[in-house]
Amino acid sequence: MMHLTRVGRCADSVVPCLMSQVIAMFPWFVGGLAEKALLLASVSEWEQALDTAQRVLEMQPDNLDALKVMTQFDRKYTVVLAQVELCWWTVIHYLPRDRTSM
């Protein structure tokens, strides 16, 4: 019961802390790192979100979640346009070739 009370008081930092522990245990799992970047962006921790998204893009250059975080932060039109174009081509690349089965 003591653990639940302690967690309840610091709920803001528990989820990122647990995610960091899981990422440390499974550094090869890019999905967890991408999810952490999205979580950090959702709570406006932009510096950490960008660092995490950059780590994801180093491991997987076409990760849509990391590209989304990078696009949300950057306000330069040409950079955002390039990132959106990369997102578009990534989606097109991963769509099934036979679209009649969809």
Residue scoring higher pLDDT (4 or 93): 93
The pLDDT assigned to 16 comes to: 66
pLDDT at residue 52 in the model = 92
Stated pTM of the model: 0.63
pLDDT digits (tens, 9 = 90+) for 18-42: 777 878 888 788 888 999 999 889 8
Q: Find the farthest-apart pair of alpha carbons in the chain and give their distance in angstroms, rounded.
A: 55
CATH superfamily, domain 2-101, is Tetratricopeptide repeat domain (1.25.40.10)
Report whether 34 contacts 56 (CB < 8 A).
Answer: yes
Given a contact cutoff of 8 angstroms between Cβ atoms, the answer to whether 49 and 41 are in contact is yes
Q: What pLDDT shows up at residue 70?
A: 84
At 48, which amino acid appears? Q
Annotated domain spans of the chain = 2-101
Per residue in 48-100, pLDDT (tens digit) is 999 999 999 899 888 888 888 887 776 666 776 777 788 788 778 777 766 55
DSSP string over the chain? -HHHHHHHHTHHHHHHHHHHHHHHH-TT-HHHHHHHHHHHHHTT-HHHHHHHHHHHHHH-TT-HHHHHHHHHH---HHHHHHHHHHHHHHHHHHS-S-GGG-
